[in-house]
Structure 1
């Protein structure tokens, strides 16, 4: 996978998004569109980003009954996004259905990369046990979800950097480990719990990193992006 950070476009409108992207000029980026931007603006957001030649990770974390997810994925695949995800907690049947929907809706025979979210990087060990009543260690829960995602035909998972190497060992080097929760060493953790800096992510074995506020809230977002891109450089495993 390419060695540029995926920028989380956590904005409420296309106007704010366009304002953020303008200083990058014609540079082709990999961007993440999450629920805030997509649900308030709809598919037009994807159309505009693709017209600008950006690659798009549509981060909607679908979690519903298998048929609903399948039909939703069939429609979303037709938008031409490059990567999309579901919650692994939805189960094997739901993840299989998501893959089937993407296969059926893909344009030109090329379907989006399908990821399964394991545990959110904002989730702590204590929070998982208290809120989800999962008694195994968080690391074990993430690894279990990753194995189930691979079994279901997903291309990879969303996980924290802290689990990336074990998932690589369990699921293979070609299995995506997309890791949000990326912060600079001297940066603020914000609402994240399981974080790492770009260099650590590269060393441990992330396939791709997702970076939001360290870029979008920086005084100079373009400079921050290229700084993080440099830190993230090297061989992707």
Structure 2
């Protein structure tokens, strides 16, 4: 895609969300709609944002037994998402069924490790090893399950790209140089992530919370 930036749009008001997308759409490549947006506005909200004319990334992080995830994937066919996420930690069978149930043309990517987590968090949840090792394990599993790619931080995307040459890699938690990191712990700049092999750059607050969102989006686009 010519512009890999997907705006993470989690505004609680649909009218404000549409207004923001229409303001910045010349400087982004798509819109990511997460659980907060989807639970608040449902199918109607997704259709309203789709009218803005950009690809839709449904970041629903599906994670359940294989049959349930397959049913959920079939239920969103009508929304025609370009990308949908499932949790890679759901296992191979779940990922296989998710991909099999996805609409033609929809990329299914596995969330490996949230960018709000670090190795201390991993230890507290009983996961051994480093965050890098965990991402690499789940990337290999997602590839073997037939997914299109994974979601990982910019810290791991370079290594995953070397391992999975044809993978589709979504990198969230990005911050332009000098920006506050907020609740993100494993961040890089959009340029660095792109250089390391990211296919999609998910950027939210640096644009949506900026005093001038259009200028913020334009400035990020200029670095790519």
Structure 2: state its 5+ residue gaps. Answer: none
Provide the secondary structure at the position in 2 that maps to 1:162: coil
Aligned twin of 1:33: 33
Provide the secondary structure at the position in 2 that maps to 1:43: helix
Structure 1 residue 25: Cα displacement = 6.8
Aligned twin of 1:226: 218
Aligned twin of 1:94: 94
Aligned twin of 1:83: 83
1:146 to 135, 139, 145: 139
Q: Distance in 1 between matches of 2:28 and 2:181?
A: 28
Q: Distance in 2 between matches of 1:89 and 1:162?
A: 19
Q: Distance in 2 between matches of 1:188 and 1:98?
A: 35
Provide the secondary structure at the position in 2 that maps to 1:154: coil
Q: Distance in 1 between matches of 2:153 and 2:187?
A: 7
Structure 1 residue 140: Cα displacement = 0.4
Provide the secondary structure at the position in 1 that maps to 2:79: coil
Aligned residues: 224
Please, what TM-score do these two structures have when normalized by structure 1? 0.90
1:123 to 117, 120, 133: 117
Structure 1 residue 91: Cα displacement = 0.3
Structure 1 residue 77: Cα displacement = 2.3
Partner deviation per Cα, 1:190-233 (whole Å, 9 max, x = no partner): 000000011211222211110000000011101111111121x2
| RMSD after superposition | 1.5
Aligned twin of 1:179: 171
Q: Distance in 2 between matches of 1:26 and 1:47?
A: 19
Q: Distance in 1 between matches of 2:193 and 2:18?
A: 29
Q: Is the 8 A contact 1:92 1:149 kept in 2?
A: yes
Partner deviation per Cα, 1:125-164 (whole Å, 9 max, x = no partner): 111111x211111100000000100111110000001101
Q: Distance in 2 between matches of 1:90 and 1:189?
A: 28
Matches within 5 A, 1:1-237: 1-24=1-24, 29-102=29-102, 106=103, 110-130=104-124, 132-172=125-165, 174-231=166-223, 233=224
Structure 1 residue 19: Cα displacement = 2.8
Please, what TM-score do these two structures have when normalized by structure 2? 0.95
Structure 1 residue 78: Cα displacement = 2.5
Classify 1:93/1:27 alpha carbon distance in 2 versus 1 (closer, same or farther; 3 Å).
same
Structure 1 residue 117: Cα displacement = 0.1
Moved more, 76-85 or 145-154: 76-85
Q: Distance in 2 between matches of 1:11 and 1:230?
A: 25
Q: Distance in 2 between matches of 1:200 and 1:25?
A: 23
Classify 1:3/1:169 alpha carbon distance in 2 versus 1 (closer, same or farther; 3 Å).
same
